[in-house]
Amino acid sequence: MEKFKNFQFNNLLEAVQSKRNLSQEEKIVLEKAFEFAQKAHLGQKRKSGDPYFSHPIEAALKLAEWGLDTPTIAAGLLHDVAEDTFTSLEIIEKTFGKEIAFLVNGVTKLGKLKYHGAKNGTSKEEYLAENLRKMILAISEDLRVVFIKLADRLHNMKTLSALPHLKQKRVALESSEIYAPLAYRLGMQNLAGELEDLSFIYLHPQEYKWLSEKIKDRFEERVKYLEKAKPIVEEALKKNNIVPQKIDYRAKRISSLYKKLLRFDMNLEQIHDLVAFRIIVNTVEECYAALGIIHQLWPPLPGRIKDYIALPKSNGYRSLHTTVFCLNNKTAEFQIRTLQMHEEAENGIAAHWAYTQSKGTKEFLESGVVFADNKNLQWVQQLKNWQNEFSDPQEFLKSLKVDFFKDRVFAITPKGEVVDLPLGATPVDFAYHIHTAIGDQCVGAKVNNKIVPLDYQIQSGDVVEILIQKSKKPSESWLKFVKTEGAKRRIKSAAKKSASGFLKIPSQTEFKIIVKDRIGILKDVSAVISRSHINISSVNVPKGVNFPAIKIICDTNNKEKIEKLVVKLRSVDGVKEVSHRLV
């Protein structure tokens, strides 16, 4: 037992130390966490029959591989202790301090939500959206919690075969719908791909079997081919004084290959990047030089040169890609990048986090790094540029918090996309953020499935849905409450365009409609108004009344039109009473 412990623990220490130096103090913390978790899980087994403790060890090893700090790795070891054993969080805090307890608690909270099917009225979509919401909130609190959850999930996916069939499907679906996209957004492409591939096995077992058999020979053939081309590349680079750090191959992930095949009528001949060269060089200049050298050797396929260095992908990915007519006129893809770009491409924000932290002081570590998600993580790129401007990591972190994460809220679209808005932002800001046309035609909004007034202040995690009316124009009154510059600009310019329009002439009618609240009532009411070719200027719905009085202001003062509309409105199912006045 003792011997086994030593072996596993030394393994972990080695993994950490291959990435960074470890102080004696940190070793003690890790050892304490190791022994504590081992004891807490003693006698517990995984579904596979393995001792339970093998799972937190694997998670901690992954966190070490990502180069993360000691509290995160310790929390990785402890991550299931509070949930699955009799050990309480208080004891963890007493033994390991606030920071580690905070991380363990964060992971435990993320794990609490369980999907129980339609039984208790939760649909799959609602469940996924709720989980995503939790993840985003966790990110805005402390990104390290999410790293632990991702390491946890990766190992659970690797050992999924031991679980019952139905549970496999559920976990795989969750991994491919939440965890893989999240990892991708965080720039952790390697992890995202691994999760996608593991999910693919369970979500599409037949396709998986078919495809893995089909590509096996082709794959070997491709590797042999690239093996022949490799010395030619090396020689040409050497002639130009470029000694790459590494030239290897990367095989296309089976799940992404499958997605691509769907677009190409399942024709494998169309796939050029089944196996691609990957060249790691020393500097950005060498990246471009190497690209030129390869193009001198073999002509490039038109339209296949991609410069993700000058124009990084939205998740921060940087690299040069090209496909050339290589030996025997067969096509081959090359990816060229520096070692830093490579590490970031593999591990994304984790690599960046580790990098920043390795430069950090003790104060910096203790300040508790706080990150949040942005719509597409464009800030990963900005982060990288910024960090160079700060010699003091603490200053860097401070500016980061102030500029990016303070005064921000994160709203979610019904499809689960994250929208980053300033504090106090309203559904109108949200609508304009999605699309100008959505903002212009916005007549109402639902937050977490309840109708809210347009000046409602969005809270982080709110699921916001915008109700629109075709050919509707923005209302000047919105200027009183919108927060984003984009929305303000757009409303003002629309006002100018209709100079004789809604700005000055008091030509509006306010309808007061008493309704029996039901799903879709607002949609039906606004549809009736739309069909009468009357523009809705604003909608106001009070909360929490059985028979709410909806107030709708319309851009018309035409008596005849108004009277006709009142009749139509009264015939809408659920409408109790309609009155109106000019405003």
Shortest spacing between CB 460 and Mn ion, in angstroms:
26
Rounded to the nearest 10 degrees, how much is the dihedral formed by the CA atoms of 395, 399, 400, 404?
170
Task: Compare residues 152 and 429 and give the one whose CB is closer to Mn ion.
Answer: 152
* 152/273 with CB nearer Mn ion: 152
Contact 364, 393 (CB under 8 A): yes
In terms of Cβ atoms closer than 10 Å to its own Cβ (0-12, 13-18, 19+), residue 299 is: exposed
The DSSP element (H or E) to which 89 belongs, if any, is: helix 89-96
Q: Distance between CA 100 and CA 464 in Å, rounded?
A: 34
Cβ proximity to Mn ion: between 152 and 344 the closer is 152
Residue with smaller CB distance to Mn ion, 114 or 480: 114
The helix (run of H) or strand (run of E) holding residue 579 is strand 575-582
Quote the least distance from Cβ 170 to Mn ion, whole Å: 16
Smallest distance from the beta carbon of 55 to Mn ion, in angstroms? 6
476 part of the active site: no
Of the candidate spans 128-136, 149-157, 320-328, 423-431, the one that interacts with Mn ion by CB under 5 A turns out to be 149-157
> Which residues ranging from 469 to 528 are in contact with Mn ion (CB under 5 A)?
none
Only one of the segments 94-102, 146-154, 269-277, 559-567 lies at the binding site for Mn ion (rule: CB under 5 A); that segment is 146-154
Give the residue carrying structure tokens 């369980």.
Answer: 114
Residues with Cβ < 8 Å from 445, sequence gap 6 or more?
Answer: 427, 430, 431, 451, 452, 454, 456, 464, 465, 466, 467
Distance CA 421, CA 4 (A): 51
CB 44, min distance to Mn ion, A: 12
Query: How is residue 136 written in tokens?
Result: 């985003």
Task: Return the closest-CA partner of residue 481 out of 424, 431, 442.
Answer: 424
Span from 22-30, 144-152, 283-291, 412-420 in contact with Mn ion (CB under 5 A): 144-152
Region of 69-77, 148-156, 169-177, 522-530 interacting with Mn ion (CB under 5 A): 148-156
Q: Which of residues 520-579 bind Mn ion (CB under 5 A)?
A: none
Q: How far is the CB of 168 from Mn ion (least distance, A)?
A: 16
Q: 27-54: b or e for each residue (b if 16 or more CB lie within 10 Å)?
A: eebbebbbebbbebbeeeebeeeebbbe
Q: Give, as one character, the DSSP assignment of residue 252.
A: P
CA atoms of 226 and 334, how far apart (whole Å): 11
Query: How far is residue 227's CA from residue 195's CA, in Å, rounded to a whole number?
Result: 29
Residues 443-462 that bind Mn ion (CB under 5 A): none
- As measured in angstroms, the least distance from the Cβ of 156 to Mn ion is 6
Q: How far is the CB of 188 from Mn ion (least distance, A)?
A: 18
At its nearest, how many Å lie between Mn ion and the CB of residue 134? Answer: 16
Of 83, 93, 126, 234, catalytic: 83
User: Measured in Å, how far apart are the chain's first and last C-alpha atoms?
Assistant: 83
Question: Judging by DSSP bridges, how do beta strands 442-447 and 246-251 pair with one another?
Answer: unpaired
Residue closer to Mn ion (CB basis): 85 or 367: 85
Closest to Mn ion by CB, 80 or 174? 80
Give CA–CA dist 413/133, Å, rounded: 11
Measured from the CB atom, the residue of 152 and 174 that comes closer to Mn ion is 152
Q: Whose Cβ is closer to Mn ion: residue 62's or residue 313's?
A: 62
Rounded least distance, CB 171 to Mn ion, Å = 12
- H-helix or E-strand spanning residue 113: none
Q: Which of 31, 65, 84, 207 is catalytic?
A: 84
Site for Mn ion in 43-102 (CB under 5 A): 80
- 3-state SS, 518-536, equals CCCHHHHHHHHHHHCCCCE
Minimal CA–CA distance to 136: which of 428, 382, 484, 413?
Answer: 413
Is position 152 an interface residue for Mn ion (rule: CB under 5 A)? yes
Please identify the residue of the shown chain whose CB is closest to the bound Mn ion: 152
Instruction: Give the Cβ contact number of residue 495 at 10 Å.
Output: 19
Nearer to Mn ion, 155 or 318 (CB): 155
Would you call 267 helix, strand, or coil by DSSP?
coil
Closest approach of Mn ion to the CB of residue 489, in Å: 48
Decide if 196 is catalytic.
no
Tell me how many residues contact Mn ion (CB under 5 A). Answer: 2
Q: What is the DSSP string of 269-335?
A: GG-S-SEEEEEEESSHHHHHHHHHHHHHHSPBPTT--EETTTS--TT----EEEEEE-GGG-EEEEE
CB of 146 to Mn ion, least distance (A): 14
Biggest CA pair distance of the chain: 92
**Phi, psi angles (nearest 5°) of residue 82:** -70, -30
The secondary structure of 24-54 as a DSSP string is HHHHHHHHHHHHHHHHHTTT-B-TTSSBTTH
159, 51 contact by CB (below 8 A): no
Closer of 156 and 319 to Mn ion (Cβ): 156
Beta carbon nearer to Mn ion, 45 or 492: 45
Point out the residues that are catalytic. 83-84
**Interacting residues with Mn ion (CB under 5 A):** 80, 152
